[in-house]
Structure 1
Amino acid sequence: MAKLANDLGTEKISSLLIKQAVPATIGILVMSLNMIVDTIFVGQWVGVLAIAAITVVLPIAFLISSIGMGIGIGGSSIISRALGAENSSKAFLTFGNQICLTLILAIIFVLLGNFYSVPILNLFGAKGDILPIASEYFAMVIFGVPFLAFAMMGNPVIRAEGKPKFAMYAMIIPAILNIVLDVVFIKFFDWGMTGAGLATSISYASIGLYILYFFLSSKSELKIIPKNFALDGKIVREIVELGGVSVVRQGAISVLMIVLNYSLFTYGGEISISIFGIINRVMMFSLSPVMGVSQGFLPVAGFNIGAKKNDRVKETIKKSIYFGSILGTFIFLAIILFKEQVIQIFTDDITLLNETPNAMLIVFIATPIITMQLIGSAYFQAAGKAMPALLLTLLKQGIFLIPLAYILPKYYGVLGVWWSFPIADILSTIVTVLVLKREIDKNLISA
């Protein structure tokens, strides 16, 4: 672990951020591209309603797998600080507890998803003609979710070890596999949504197996040791407190999807859900660099917080926000210039081509400032401060966006849904900046 300590504790912050953020960005970018290609294929080869079906199903799969992500992020925060404090035994114990928790909880939730699939799909907006297509897709995807949960647990841990390239590979492999299988199953075998779901499920299995291979190999400094599977109350509580932030965030996103799909279906019908499906895919892909900066921030900040190097922590915060804001500005400019061309990739449906560009532009208006939100909540996770991390994480999706997406359409129709996004971004950024500034002034005083 000495090499890791030397790097995260002494190397130039900007170099560390680039080293951590670039692989994370590439990984997220490829995974997002995978979802985009999935949407393009079903939109072109199955139909417009297939886009709506994927928009309904994926938040359910991600809600279940977010349990793994929460355990991964919560545990990696503990591991980063333990490594910074040179406490490797705690890091190993935490890792073993993470594996045990992920497998138990993922299997339970997948069983529930199988038994109650139709009510769950209805809840998430599978109404009218969308339901049978969504059911066909969900029936396949659900079997790959435990693998995805394990992968989402392991990926932050790999970054906490200081191995961002392997975390990147773990995200690239299933994305490429899914694209190939989509072509084979949908185009050549003509399996429709069943083929799309099967391709996605197999790709989830591949990422889970790759993560398992990494931890079993000599490449990982953290080893899978059965005795560490025995749950330690203190460790589990800390994982749940910190990881609960990510689970609650995904839960808030899932509630948001319920509200969005309700408002979109009520005021615009199935076509509006398809419009949002396209915007959501573009958002995931285009915001990958900003998300990469946030992911790269976590191990650097967490290690230096554990090592009590406050000056380096403050520099990490400032440079992460600076880099992310520049990227966000470029992303918004690209959306302004190429929004019509982007939408043409997904569909040739005239209604979608006419209505999606303006909606997309509105949704992306606040993109230049969103890094402040992400780094604010990420800092408190890295510092092991669960409550402020939770509150800041919930600001956009939970506290602001859910009520706005429900109330504004009552007065402005579907347009109100689109405007709820930038308004929520602006409000949550203001609150995050105030809270983060207070934390820096109070607890990151230079030695």
Structure 2
Amino acid sequence: MSVSSTDLAHKSIKSLLIKQAVPASIGILFLTVNLLIDTIFVGRWIGSIAIAALSVVMPITFFISSMGMAIGIGGSSVLSRALGKGNHEKAVATFAHQIMMTFGICILFVIAGLFFSEEILFLFGANGAIMPPAKEFFMPILLAVPLQAFCMMGNTVIRAEDKARHAMVAMIVAALSNVILDVLFIKVLDMGVFGAALATAFSFMLCFAYILWFFIKKSELRLKLSSFVFHPELVKEIVSLSFVTFARQGVISILAIILNHTLYAEGGEQAVAIYGIISRMLMFMLFPVLGVTQGFMPIAGYNYGAGNYIRVKEAITTAIKYATYISIIIFVVVLVFARPIAALFTTDAGVIEGTPVALRWVFAASPIIAIQLIGGAYFQAAGKATKALLLTLSKQGFFLIPLVLILPPFFGIFGVWIAFPISDILSTLLTGLFLKKEMTEELKEA
């Protein structure tokens, strides 16, 4: 085992969290800036209908590629705990299984997408004028999705090896290449929505090439042919934890379907475009909190596997503290700059007018979400699949989807926006109860 991964057992939690979270945050920053710029280019150079098309297509392709993220996070929990116990052979076998499962599952989804593209797009909200640009955007990205899935899976494995800098570089490669190719295909070659899709697909390819290079040249997980023999028990262990992330992404996709149809019914294409801006801002503004969450997981998983519960508890409290500070800053920024943020994306006066109020309400409970995110991440890192699944599904599945269905008949489109902070508050309370019990009863001194 490399010295790098064993540092997780000895270095101070604060320094480890910074070491893990800063590269993860920078990587997510580049990824989300890429999505923002993509949306800005599409909105300003093509039109607000194109933003609505992106809002329909991205949840579909992200759902498929999230198979890689799910297998990556679930398998990396197994991998981190195996490294913590000194079982390097199991860690290598886990990685091999992650590769096989990622490509196998994603290719099946891509085949289904090729045969039923129009039906899937309609299901996800491609109504009226949104359908033509959505179809144009969908196909190139769909074909490149298995590479994106491998990138998502590989990124979590790289962080589990305590090599977060390389995970960051992979995300930067994807983001920068997409921005450059956007300018080339949309502005210079005037290829419209299809050009935006091509730029995204090629950026996946370049990210895939970098991650493949890392595993060949830099990784401590040296694969052999014998590593690619399926072990049912290992598959079962990976799937049980991967299912947490997969279920979350599945619920997010169901939420996208309900939101897009509800928003279209309440406010037409313009309302869908407004949510397209808000969804990008949710990813962008929360990047440092997500970075802390991702940085926290290998620290918690490794030390839980090693039975060092004092360090696990310290990691939980430290991560929540710093993530909360960051969340408060994010809330203030959104509160003050909501209108200038909306004006960045489009020149459509109706979209600019409708976005600020919606944006402020969607972010209203952001100062408290650190407990929700870190709590769910802990149970996944510790291999407690049932609790992780329950908490992961709580916001979107148990609270947000029902509220989006219940509130609009009474409050119109405003009911959609206030559903977000209400669900954040309820899911944070639930996670807090689980986490408090875990820290006082389960994580006793070893």
Deviations along 1:354-410, one digit per CA (max 9) or x if unpaired, are: 110011000000011111111111111111111100000000011100111111111
Do the aligned residues in 1 keep the contact of 2:328 with 2:367 (CA within 8 Å)? yes
State how far apart, in whole Å, the 1-side matches of 2:430 and 2:397 are: 14
* Structure 1 partner of 2:101: 101
* Structure 1 partner of 2:242: 243
State how far apart, in whole Å, the 2-side matches of 1:225 and 1:143 are: 28
* Structure 1 partner of 2:54: 54
Deviations along 1:39-76, one digit per CA (max 9) or x if unpaired, are: 00110111110000001100101100111111111110
State how far apart, in whole Å, the 2-side matches of 1:395 and 1:102 are: 26
State how far apart, in whole Å, the 1-side matches of 2:395 and 2:222 are: 37
State how far apart, in whole Å, the 1-side matches of 2:207 and 2:56 are: 23
Secondary structure class of the residue paired with 1:231: coil
* Structure 2 partner of 1:16: 16
1:31-180 matched pairs, under 5 angstroms: 31-180=31-180
State how far apart, in whole Å, the 2-side matches of 1:206 and 1:387 are: 36
State how far apart, in whole Å, the 2-side matches of 1:95 and 1:29 are: 26
- The offset of 1:5, in angstroms, is 4.5
Q: What amino acid is aligned across from residue 46 of structure 1 in structure 2?
A: I
State how far apart, in whole Å, the 2-side matches of 1:67 and 1:107 are: 11
- The offset of 1:226, in angstroms, is 2.5
State how far apart, in whole Å, the 2-side matches of 1:22 and 1:2 are: 21
* Structure 1 partner of 2:397: 398
- The offset of 1:277, in angstroms, is 0.4
State how far apart, in whole Å, the 1-side matches of 2:220 and 2:226 are: 17
State how far apart, in whole Å, the 2-side matches of 1:213 and 1:109 are: 26
Q: How many residues align?
A: 446
* Structure 2 partner of 1:433: 432
Do the aligned residues in 2 keep the contact of 1:301 with 1:382 (CA within 8 Å)? yes
State how far apart, in whole Å, the 2-side matches of 1:60 and 1:209 are: 24
Q: What amino acid is aligned across from residue 177 of structure 2 in structure 1?
A: L
* Structure 2 partner of 1:290: 289
Secondary structure class of the residue paired with 1:190: coil
Do the aligned residues in 1 keep the contact of 2:5 with 2:161 (CA within 8 Å)? no
Do the aligned residues in 1 keep the contact of 2:264 with 2:271 (CA within 8 Å)? yes
1:271-420 matched pairs, under 5 angstroms: 271-420=270-419
RMSD: 0.8
User: Any unmatched runs of 5+ in structure 1?
Assistant: none
- The offset of 1:2, in angstroms, is 4.5
Q: What amino acid is aligned across from residue 327 of structure 2 in structure 1?
A: G
* Structure 1 partner of 2:209: 209
Do the aligned residues in 1 keep the contact of 2:5 with 2:162 (CA within 8 Å)? no
State how far apart, in whole Å, the 2-side matches of 1:122 and 1:5 are: 46
Runs of 4+ more than 3 Å apart: none
- The offset of 1:225, in angstroms, is 2.3
Do the aligned residues in 2 keep the contact of 1:287 with 1:328 (CA within 8 Å)? yes
State how far apart, in whole Å, the 2-side matches of 1:182 and 1:85 are: 46
- Tell me the TM-score normalized by structure 1: 0.99
- The offset of 1:344, in angstroms, is 1.2
Deviations along 1:122-175, one digit per CA (max 9) or x if unpaired, are: 000000000011000001111110100111111100000000000000100010
- The offset of 1:204, in angstroms, is 1.1
Deviations along 1:237-279, one digit per CA (max 9) or x if unpaired, are: 0110001111110000000000101110111111000000001
State how far apart, in whole Å, the 2-side matches of 1:105 and 1:223 are: 23
Deviations along 1:51-110, one digit per CA (max 9) or x if unpaired, are: 000011001011001111111111100110001000000001111111111111111111
* Structure 2 partner of 1:30: 30
Secondary structure class of the residue paired with 2:128: coil
- The offset of 1:441, in angstroms, is 1.5
State how far apart, in whole Å, the 2-side matches of 1:395 and 1:314 are: 23
State how far apart, in whole Å, the 1-side matches of 2:405 and 2:329 are: 30
Secondary structure class of the residue paired with 2:407: helix
Q: What amino acid is aligned across from residue 61 of structure 1 in structure 2?
A: T
- The offset of 1:187, in angstroms, is 0.5
Do the aligned residues in 1 keep the contact of 2:324 with 2:369 (CA within 8 Å)? yes
State how far apart, in whole Å, the 2-side matches of 1:163 and 1:299 are: 11
Secondary structure class of the residue paired with 1:445: coil
Q: What amino acid is aligned across from residue 275 of structure 1 in structure 2?
A: I
Do the aligned residues in 1 keep the contact of 2:303 with 2:311 (CA within 8 Å)? yes
Do the aligned residues in 1 keep the contact of 2:263 with 2:271 (CA within 8 Å)? yes
Do the aligned residues in 2 keep the contact of 1:137 with 1:193 (CA within 8 Å)? yes
State how far apart, in whole Å, the 2-side matches of 1:336 and 1:419 are: 15
Which stretch of structure 1 is more off in the superposition, 100-109 or 315-324? 100-109
* Structure 2 partner of 1:253: 252
Q: What amino acid is aligned across from residue 385 of structure 1 in structure 2?
A: K
- The offset of 1:223, in angstroms, is 2.1
State how far apart, in whole Å, the 1-side matches of 2:243 and 2:10 are: 31
- The offset of 1:341, in angstroms, is 1.2
